[in-house]
Amino acid sequence: MSNTPRWSRRGLLAGTASTIAGATLARVAQAQSAPAAAQSRPLPPYASWKEPGQMIVHTATTIETKRSAFGTGIVTPADRLYIRNNLPAPDASIVADPDAWEVSVEGVRQPRTLTVGQLKGLGLETVAAVLQCSGNGRGYFADKPSGTKWTVGAAGCVIWSGVPVRSVVAALGGIPGDARFMTGTGGEALPAGVDPKAVMVERSVPLKAMEDALLAWEMNGEPVPLAHGGPLRLVVPGYSGVNNIKYVKRLAFGATQSDAAIQKTGYRMSPPGTKGDPSMQSVWEMDVKSWINGPSSEDGPVKAGMVQIHGVAMGATRSLRRVDVSLDGGQTWQEARFVGPDLGRFAWRQFVLPVRLQPGQYVLASRAQDTQFNWQVENTPPNGGGYLNSGWRSHALSITVA
Ligand SMILES: Nc1nc2c(c(=O)[nH]1)N[C@H]1C(S)=C(S)[C@@H](COP(=O)(O)O)O[C@H]1N2
Ligand SMILES: [Mo]
């Protein structure tokens, strides 16, 4: 199995370099650079501030972080964080006066509309949390489910600041009755002429998720950028990307889940090749997962000698206990060391294993274990939407050492 990303021009070239002579090589390089260049689209205007060299632009609404761009710090810089929009991003005018943005809170004893300015008076909390698209890793499913072929880069570790949802609920008299779900609605303008329920971004999560949820106006110490849901975002730590509603305009508590398509049939764990329906598990909590980010031989072989094999590991909703690293595709394992501070159970941790490598081929794999002794799975069974892939085997990184 090859882990060379499709968009890697040098990866393509490396495979052929040893078999052809220098003169031919130049022509091959030229021929091969054309499709590779086509893969690398320009950043769309609303995301033009991202670092172009660190991103893979699949489309204007699906932009992935390169595997080599996570670095070894913990927090993913905003200008390298992935983007996934189900609808076109709203107009930038909505972030011109962030404090004026309004969210209506329903299903509480005193329902009302609050501005971000007012929310700022109700409470303050900061949480480090992994934001990961439900489809991250979809590109590694062997049955090739449709959808963006994300590899590892539809994820990041982000620091959010805002008001705890439970503080807002308390300020509005609490939740009466038998609410079981918390529903967030995105503030996008919906395209005309289509059933709003078919396109709106509205997700429900179990009420217990409220305990850790924030209405966030700050990301990594700055106002949440439009591309990431500013002026106000619902952050549900431990839950996959889609449940973290951007430009949230409504937060409702009730006995039933949203009847929007994205909740009813979308993001369900359906059998391979089929669509979801409400009887199937909704894509909510993420799983324990890890992957190796370096060293990579994408830009040429890794130099033989001492190397620091590093990557990221997440417990999703639980803290991590350990991470093991394999150099031989999972035949043998060694325990890695966590690097840097623990930013809490929703954050990811960087890990490292120092090793001396002789020239050759290596398949670098990692597997994490949470404090409940749950190991990251070897293979995630395929599902219709290609969701929640956390299998360590398919996430392995092949490298050449010379
Ligand atoms: N309002 C709104 N919220 C949204 C989305 C969207 O299209 N609209 N996309 C969801 C999905 S599928 C993901 S993976 C994350 C992506 O967050 P990011 O673009 O900040 O990385 O936002 C989620 N929240
Ligand atoms: Mo997503």
Q: Whose CA is nearest to atom 10 of ligand 1?
A: 242
Res. 75: pLDDT tops 50: yes
Task: State the chain's mean pLDDT as an integer.
Answer: 91
Distance from residue 360's CA to the centre of ligand 2 (Å): 37
- The reported pLDDT for the residue numbered 40 is 67
- Name which residue sits closest to atom 12 of ligand 1, judged by CA: 242
Q: Would you state the pLDDT for residue 39?
A: 56
Q: Which residue's CA is the nearest one to ligand 1's atom 21?
A: 83
Ligand 1: residue of 152, 242, 248, 258 to mutate (most ligand atoms within 8 A of CB) is: 242
User: Which residues, judged by CB distance below 6 Å to any ligand atom, belong to the binding site of ligand 1?
Assistant: 81-87, 131, 133, 186, 188, 201, 228-229, 241-242, 244-247
CA of 235 to the centre of ligand 2 (A): 13
SS3 313: strand
Element spanning 168, H or E:
helix 165-171
Say how far apart CA 68 and CA 7 lie, in whole Å: 13
How far, in Å, from the CA of 19 to the mean position of ligand 2?
41
Burial string for 192-222 (b: 16+ CB within 10 Å, else e) reads eeeeeeeebbbbbbebebbebbbbbbbbbee
Residue 397's nearest CA partner among 315, 302, 305, 319 is 302
Q: pLDDT band at residue 231, thresholds of 50, 70 and 90?
A: very high
Nearest protein CA to atom 16 of ligand 1, as residue: 84
Q: Which of 136, 234, 246, 387 to mutate to test the pocket of ligand 1 (most atoms within 8 A of CB)?
A: 246
pLDDT surpassing 60 at residue 278? yes
Query: Torsions phi, psi of 360, nearest 5?
Result: 150, -170
Nearest CA to ligand 1 atom 9: 85
242 CA distance to ligand 2 centroid (A)? Answer: 5
Least distant ligand from the CA of 247: 1
Question: Residue 313 in contact with residue 157, Cβ under 8 Å?
Answer: no
The 10s digit of each residue's pLDDT in 20-68 is 333 333 333 333 333 344 456 999 999 999 999 999 999 999 999 999 9
The two structure tokens encoding residue 227:
């591309």
φ, ψ of residue 305 in degrees (nearest 5): 125, -155
The answer, yes or no, to whether residue 16 has pLDDT greater than 50, is: no
Cβ–Cβ under 8 Å, residues 250 and 184: yes
Would you call 25 helix, strand, or coil by DSSP? helix
pLDDT for residue 377 is more than 80: yes
What is the pLDDT, as a whole number, of residue 28? 32
pLDDT of residue 20: 32
